[in-house]
Amino acid sequence: MYERLLSQLAHVQIVSPKFEESVAFFKTVVGLEESGRDGKSVYMRGWGDHFYHCLEIIEGDKPALGHIGWRAQGPDQLEKAVKRIEATGYGIGWVDATAGRGKAYHYRGPGGHEHYLFWDVTRFTGEGDMAPIFPNRPQRFNPRGVAARSLDHVTVTTANPEEDANWYREALGHRYMESTIADEEAGFGDFVVFAMTTVCERSHDFGLVADFSGVPGRVNHVAFWVDQREELRRAADVLLDADVPIEFGPGRHGMGEQDYLYFREPGGLRIELNSGGYHNYEPDFETVRWTPAQGSNVYYRNQKMPHSMFESFPPAENTHAEDDMAKTTLFV
């Protein structure tokens, strides 16, 4: 049975080899707000994000995931979650407060991804021109570019998505909502090539894609939310007018029933926009299993996903891994 220990995906730290270009892109095209900077980081948030930041950008040689930040359901749940992580052997230890959050527990998931779990957060309230006119909003709606409202999910890669999803469920109470196994002709048997979990009411805030590269801790994309499906179509226009190629979409995923649109930020990392989808609150929800032919990825079952979508970050030297992944026909 699901026991809620985490309340939400709070932020994602990404690495960009084109730091200033990435910051400018997220600000002017994606429409995020800059909350602040320190020596190495720029902190950003969507106009509807209530915390100090949902995205932290740091500079590095290659596009990559830095870490993922989760907020606990409460201080007691934080302590309980830490005990459970430590019991699995994946815990690293407590770290001091930093921008946007209080003290946090650092752990590394089975796929090698860095996570921080905390209770105390810094909230954002706009002042001056940013002061909200509605009391339930963190700031005035001041649309710019895509005007993404908030962070939606992060999708990482790992050698065994189902094993990892089960670890996150058992250690931390993520609900394991939906999975895809390869179509029969691909010869992968019952191997799960994509799994998605959630700690909230949305279909997923965490995705796990199979990765045959042998490189731990990689990421496939980071996703942001817009309120309406029509805004996703508008976002496609905004991107094209900003000379940003669209990698895949707009379309609809069967899994989660969310509309999608994928593109790359200047550092090379894949970004997704989402809207639509269902809400689910069941603590005993049984994981749904799909095959690609049923429309797990392409709801309309009428097109293939481009091969480039199998690239994850940092890029793998072994590109055969991506060809192998393509054989799963996951994204038909």
Per CB under 5 A, residues contacting Fe ion are 155, 223, 272
Q: Which is nearer to Fe ion, 181 or 223 (CB)?
A: 223
Q: Which is nearer to Fe ion, 72 or 269 (CB)?
A: 269
Q: Which is nearer to Fe ion, 223 or 326 (CB)?
A: 223
Minimum CB–partner distance for residue 36 and Fe ion (Å):
27
Minimum CB–partner distance for residue 260 and Fe ion (Å):
7
Smallest CA-to-CA distance from 120 within 173, 78, 169, 84 is with 78
Cα Rg of the chain, angstroms = 19
Minimum CB–partner distance for residue 275 and Fe ion (Å):
12
| Rounded Cα–Cα distance for residues 322 and 288 (Å) | 25
Q: C-alpha distances in angstroms, 292 versus 91, 288, 300?
A: 35, 13, 11
Minimum CB–partner distance for residue 18 and Fe ion (Å):
23
Q: Which is nearer to Fe ion, 16 or 155 (CB)?
A: 155
Minimum CB–partner distance for residue 299 and Fe ion (Å):
14
Joined together, the tokens standing for residue 257 give 């029933």
Q: Which is nearer to Fe ion, 272 or 311 (CB)?
A: 272
Q: C-alpha distances in angstroms, 233 versus 141, 146, 248, 277?
A: 20, 10, 13, 16
Q: Which is nearer to Fe ion, 9 or 42 (CB)?
A: 9
Long-range contacts of 236-242 (CB under 8 A, 24+ apart): 236/261, 238/29, 238/145, 238/146, 239/29, 239/146, 239/263, 242/28, 242/29, 242/145
Minimum CB–partner distance for residue 262 and Fe ion (Å):
8
Cβ neighbour number for residue 94 with a 10 Å cutoff: 12
Q: Which is nearer to Fe ion, 231 or 272 (CB)?
A: 272
First CA to last CA distance, the chain:
33
Minimum CB–partner distance for residue 1 and Fe ion (Å):
27
